[in-house]
Structure 1
Amino acid sequence: MNQTRNFLLFALLAVAYFLFMAWEKDYMTPPPAPVASGSVANAASVPGVPSTPGGTPAISDASGPAGNAASSLVTVTTDVLRLTIDTRGGSLVKAQLLDYPVAPRTHKDPNPAPVTLFDNTDTHYFVAQNGLVSSSDPAAADQPNHLALFQATQADYTLAPGQNELDVPLTWQDAKGLKVTKTYRFTRGSYVVALDQKIANGSSVPWQGNAYTQLLRTEPPHSGNWLKNISNPESRSFQGAAWYTGEKFEKLPFKDFAEPKDKLDASIKGGWAAMLRLYFFAAWIPPAGETAHYATDTVNPGSGHPRYLIRAIGPTLSVAPGQSVDATARLYVGPNLQGKLDAVAPGLDLTIDYGMFKAIAVPMHGILSFFHAIVKNWGLAIILLVLAIKGVTWKLTAIQYRSSAKMRKLMPRVQALKERYGDDKVKLQQAQMELYKKEKVNPMAGCFPVLITLPVFYGLFYVLEYSLELRHAPFLWMPDLSAPDPYYILPVIYALVMLGTQWLNPAAAGMDPAQAKMMKVMPLLFTVMFAFFPAGLCLYYAVNGLVGLGQQWWITHHMDREEAVAKAA
């Protein structure tokens, strides 16, 4: 069976899929509702979220007397992060990843701006919040939640050369003597931020309450141009909340937040809560073994920029007068580093979600990484991967090409049978089967290699699309192997390979006329399809096609020589 012919259905489905995704983003997204009056800058309530088994009160947005006081911003710079902390609640409102630029480095722009993960602007809103809520005095207007005004001793903190850790303390105290010291700890070379909320009860009555952490984000804006949506890998990737139950990884896309059946509302032990985007994510990680109550909801759904929330409320804390208690958590804010995240927290590596092709994609990523360690270039590593797969499947593809060559030689005889039996399809089929049996040709012999190739295609697609290591990885004229080929050279090369394959398989004489016409437009169809795929994937298939074409030519030429020698004898 001809390989190009076997890919026809796949190509049509793939093109249709990407076109539908782009069309859905452009035309099926409902227009934003008018923005509600009033500010939503600090909104983070979760209406209807049930309390934890310990009776945690609802977390309100009512800020007490200090709510009108102006907050200030604290900048923290480490070797890998630059973060901004708002003293209003001690929230992390901006995070830049210093080692990851938004665009490839070029001669014209050798130092592009770093990726911004947390952002407190309306269109790209994404913040990490935390706080404490009292159950001993839930009616108190002044509470140390994410709306309380904390005090900072300085406006800038920098991890100095040779310094391994940096502490940033924020303090809050009420009139009754309850004092909370919120300390963020940053570590050199780490994207993990440790949080300690120390509750010192200087009042005359016990304090009881719960610590909570939450991520609040708006859906990122998308281009109104369907062509840009197809070619932008971020528009194809998952965007939304995710969590780990200690056993299972689950996701909730933004579009499903409003569905009551999909909302998260459960007590989980040893889990974590995250917000994901392509290549980067943030996750709140409670202490190991702690049981927290997790929930999701939509904040201000009627506004122009609704915000989506995932929250974890910890167990009840009791602090006697004159005593203190610490509530801790960790925040990961950084890149999706495959193979390294499980060391931060169990299951965190699952944030790189290859879906049903994980069993293929993970080993393939490992092989690519192995080759990259040798050649120090991801483009060369992809070429070595092609050669390795071709070496493993050489005999299988040889069977396919031999079958194609034999079928090509039988085409004139098959066409003669069609002319003899006309519309009698039963007799025609019987005659064809007798011919194939006599000549020892199996028309299905070429199918098995294709069944192997398609999963490899999908697995590699996800590896190249989701692997952070290939982001902005240059090769020859391509500045980024995870983005489409900017000059469409590889799609054209693959189209030429397909034309060469068709030339070696002139089977149109025995083919249905409509199918023969479709075969002629296949190179153009694949050129268009691959124009939107990552350049690394196009590189893989262009090299794979060239090697396959060379193998097919050699086998066909070798069979012709064998036939000539047999006739001469």
Structure 2
Amino acid sequence: MTSPRNFLLIALLFIGYLFWMQWQEDYNKAASTNAAATVANGAAVAPAASPADAAAPSPPRADGTAAPPAIPNAAAEGEASARVVVNTDVLRVEIDTRGGNVVVADLLAYPLQPKDYAHPKRLLDSSDASFFEVQSGLVSAVGAAPDHQAKFSAEKLSYALADGSDTVEVPLTWSDAGGISVRKVLVFKRGSYVIEQREEIANHGATAWSGNAYRRLQRVPPVVDTSGIKGYSNIERYSFVGAAWYSPTDKFQKLKFDDFEKKPLQVEFAGGWAAMLQHYFFAAWIPEPAEADKYTTSTYLARTAQGGEVRRYLITAQSPSITVAPSETKIARARLYIGPKLQSTLDQVAPGLSLTVDYGMFTVIAEPLHWLLAQLHKLTGNWGFAIILLVLLIKAAFFKLSETQFRSGAKMRKLQPRIAALNERYAGDSQKKNQAMMELYQKEKVNPLAGCFPMLIQIPVFFALYWVLLESVELRQAPFIGWIHNLTAPDPYYVLPVLNALVMIATTTLTPTAGMDPTQAKMMKIMPVAFSVLFAFFPAGLVLYYTVNGGLGLLQQWIITRRIEAGEKASA
């Protein structure tokens, strides 16, 4: 993989792949993002008319059809709602008593900066710029029901997971003069990012109540730095951001924010879930396995506190009809996941949830590589050493292929003087020159393409490992040794990029250039410098992989070249 000719092939493919992803981002957007009316579930939805979420699209009717836009109540908008703060060992959340929604969620084990646990990663946020909330409620065609805007009452405004206790319950209550009361309870567990929710619907009236439960995720796209070369190498920009869902039939599906208006979701299935994904983290609603929910996506314009407009995106799961007879109580249950993409534990939460760690087309190869990397981390206790051991294992697996590649290169190196002579002799006749070269290759039993075939086989592994290092939240802010305190951030002193450039320069000296196009030969000389500049902004974990892989390849190439040259001297 370290031969400049082959590395150039990988580099061109890799850069082409990044260009294709950027083209998708720049030119595959929805036709308009500023229209006042947008399509949601097949029906026009008017823009929001207030800074508050009270102006968001109304929940669907009990029969499953889209409801007309909500008309904000000016008095209700001005009313302040209290928030319930809940602290566990892994989460700090704020629950708005308006709707009983989780509007803020801090992931306590994931600081914004390494070891700065006083400032954890905020996944859910009620501010305009980074708005991301999970909402739930009930809707009824025949009576009152507390939707995601209804005012609940809280017993107290602060809860904490006590020492020696494994759970903490947060109850919220709502009641109507007609006899319907709802007790929404959120259950937090120690060491878990799963919040269990149950809505206890009690009918104290004289007639039956019928309605549906719905849960949805609503957000604005996260802001990602894409400016300049630093933005180009920002791994966060290449991670999928948008809605996702899973069904036993269609498995894992996803929808970019740009496609919300062009490809609105409207399906029904049981045993699935709905989520909003971003780099490293996500939130998901997980209904009861036997509950056949209707899943839809929509988008609308909301007014900000400053009077501007921002587009919000929603994915909603609506339950089948629930009927509660007089003097009866029924419970609607669902689970909410708010946390990191921990691939090793997500499938224990719900089937297919580990697929939120999105490796794209390389999933089949990337998943075993991630598993192997995790096992090596258990062995070493350090993600940097785990990466080095992984490179060693990959090198061992492809040793024979690499040997074939380097032997071909060494033989081509031996033929350089004769190829140069042919270039000089047939300088004005390319047809005769090519014919003479083919005769030379046949006589010496050299296949000039032999070095490319092993590389083509290794390319899928190369890309798969790239995505493993890009998507693995376990590597986020992981230290290595010495000056490298964060494998997901660039090398602060550029040591690894410089070492990688030196390895590439040394490899270039062992690579035959006879018969190579002059432009390609110049690119090979410039490439180490160009890539050292590019790698200066890449995460240290990726550059560590390239450097170790390149160093091992250089060593293997040098040994094989020496053996072939020694064999020729012995024969002479």
Q: Please, what TM-score do these two structures have when normalized by structure 1? A: 0.91
Question: 1:61 is matched with which residue?
Answer: 70
Give the Cα separation in 1 of the matches to 2:395 and 2:243: 39
State the secondary structure of the residue aligned to 1:203: coil
For the pair 1:102 / 2:112, whether they are aligned, the reply is yes
Q: Is the 8 A contact 1:3 1:450 kept in 2?
A: no
For the pair 1:80 / 2:90, whether they are aligned, the reply is yes
Q: Is the 8 A contact 1:66 1:148 kept in 2?
A: no
Q: Is the 8 A contact 1:104 1:112 kept in 2?
A: no
For the pair 1:89 / 2:91, whether they are aligned, the reply is no
State the secondary structure of the residue aligned to 2:477: coil
State the secondary structure of the residue aligned to 2:415: helix
Question: 2:40 is matched with which residue?
Answer: none
Give the Cα separation in 1 of the matches to 2:153 and 2:381: 48
Out of 206-215 and 529-538, give the one that drifted further: 529-538
Which of the numbers 174, 177, 180 marks the counterpart of 1:178? Answer: 180
State the secondary structure of the residue aligned to 1:508: coil
Q: List gaps (5 residues or longer) in structure 2.
A: 37-46
CA-CA distance at 1:31 after TM superposition = 11
State the secondary structure of the residue aligned to 2:391: helix
Correspondence 1:269-418 to 2 at 5 A: 269-300=270-301, 304-418=309-423
Give the Cα separation in 1 of the matches to 2:66 and 2:175: 21
CA-CA distance at 1:67 after TM superposition = 6.2
For the pair 1:263 / 2:264, whether they are aligned, the reply is yes
CA-CA distance at 1:372 after TM superposition = 1.1
Q: Which digits, 9 at most, give the CA deviation of each residue in 1:337-368, with x for residues without a partner?
A: 11211111111111011011111111111111
| CA RMSD between the two structures | 2.7
Give the Cα separation in 2 of the matches to 1:34 and 1:429: 61
CA-CA distance at 1:26 after TM superposition = 9.0
For the pair 1:10 / 2:10, whether they are aligned, the reply is yes
For the pair 1:500 / 2:506, whether they are aligned, the reply is yes
CA-CA distance at 1:125 after TM superposition = 0.3
Out of 427-436 and 121-130, give the one that drifted further: 427-436
Out of 347-356 and 110-119, give the one that drifted further: 110-119
State the secondary structure of the residue aligned to 1:450: helix
Question: 2:43 is matched with which residue?
Answer: none
Structure 1 residues 148 and 68: CA distance shift in structure 2, 3 A: farther
Q: Is the 8 A contact 2:54 2:77 kept in 1?
A: no
For the pair 1:127 / 2:133, whether they are aligned, the reply is yes
Give the Cα separation in 1 of the matches to 2:2 and 2:471: 31
Give the Cα separation in 2 of the matches to 1:362 and 1:167: 36
Structure 1 residues 252 and 474: CA distance shift in structure 2, 3 A: same
Question: 2:44 is matched with which residue?
Answer: none
Q: Which digits, 9 at most, give the CA deviation of each residue in 1:208-255, with x for residues without a partner?
A: 110000000011123363334223222221111101122311111111
State the secondary structure of the residue aligned to 2:570: helix
Structure 2 letter corresponding to 1:219: P
Structure 2 letter corresponding to 1:279: Y
Identity %, equivalent residues:
52
Give the Cα separation in 1 of the matches to 2:117 and 2:137: 37
How many equivalent residue pairs? 554
State the secondary structure of the residue aligned to 1:330: strand
Q: Is the 8 A contact 1:22 1:227 kept in 2?
A: no
Out of 414-423 and 38-47, give the one that drifted further: 38-47
State the secondary structure of the residue aligned to 1:444: coil
Structure 1 residues 319 and 280: CA distance shift in structure 2, 3 A: same
Structure 2 letter corresponding to 1:183: V
Q: Which digits, 9 at most, give the CA deviation of each residue in 1:480-514, with x for residues without a partner?
A: 21233233222221111111111122x33432222
For the pair 1:41 / 2:84, whether they are aligned, the reply is no
Q: List gaps (5 residues or longer) in structure 1.
A: none
State the secondary structure of the residue aligned to 2:343: coil
State the secondary structure of the residue aligned to 1:83: strand
For the pair 1:480 / 2:486, whether they are aligned, the reply is yes
Out of 359-368 and 80-89, give the one that drifted further: 359-368
Q: Is the 8 A contact 2:382 2:480 kept in 1?
A: yes
Structure 1 residues 50 and 425: CA distance shift in structure 2, 3 A: farther
Structure 1 residues 350 and 23: CA distance shift in structure 2, 3 A: closer
Correspondence 1:470-549 to 2 at 5 A: 470-476=475-481, 477-505=483-511, 507-549=512-554
Correspondence 1:152-163 to 2 at 5 A: 152-163=154-165
Structure 1 residues 561 and 9: CA distance shift in structure 2, 3 A: closer
State the secondary structure of the residue aligned to 1:315: coil
State the secondary structure of the residue aligned to 1:70: coil
Question: 2:153 is matched with which residue?
Answer: 151
Question: 2:193 is matched with which residue?
Answer: 191
State the secondary structure of the residue aligned to 1:529: helix
Structure 1 letter corresponding to 2:157: A
Structure 1 residues 59 and 372: CA distance shift in structure 2, 3 A: farther
State the secondary structure of the residue aligned to 2:309: coil
Out of 269-278 and 36-45, give the one that drifted further: 36-45
Give the Cα separation in 2 of the matches to 1:66 and 1:33: 27
Q: Which digits, 9 at most, give the CA deviation of each residue in 1:55-88, with x for residues without a partner?
A: 5672863577866543101001111111100000
Q: Which digits, 9 at most, give the CA deviation of each residue in 1:127-175, with x for residues without a partner?
A: 01100001213xx5xx310111000010100110111111110001111
Give the Cα separation in 2 of the matches to 1:24 and 1:396: 35
Give the Cα separation in 2 of the matches to 1:520 and 1:368: 34
Give the Cα separation in 2 of the matches to 1:329 and 1:234: 30
Q: Is the 8 A contact 1:66 1:149 kept in 2?
A: no
Which of the numbers 253, 258, 262 marks the counterpart of 2:256? Answer: 253
Structure 1 letter corresponding to 2:179: G
Structure 1 residues 2 and 379: CA distance shift in structure 2, 3 A: closer
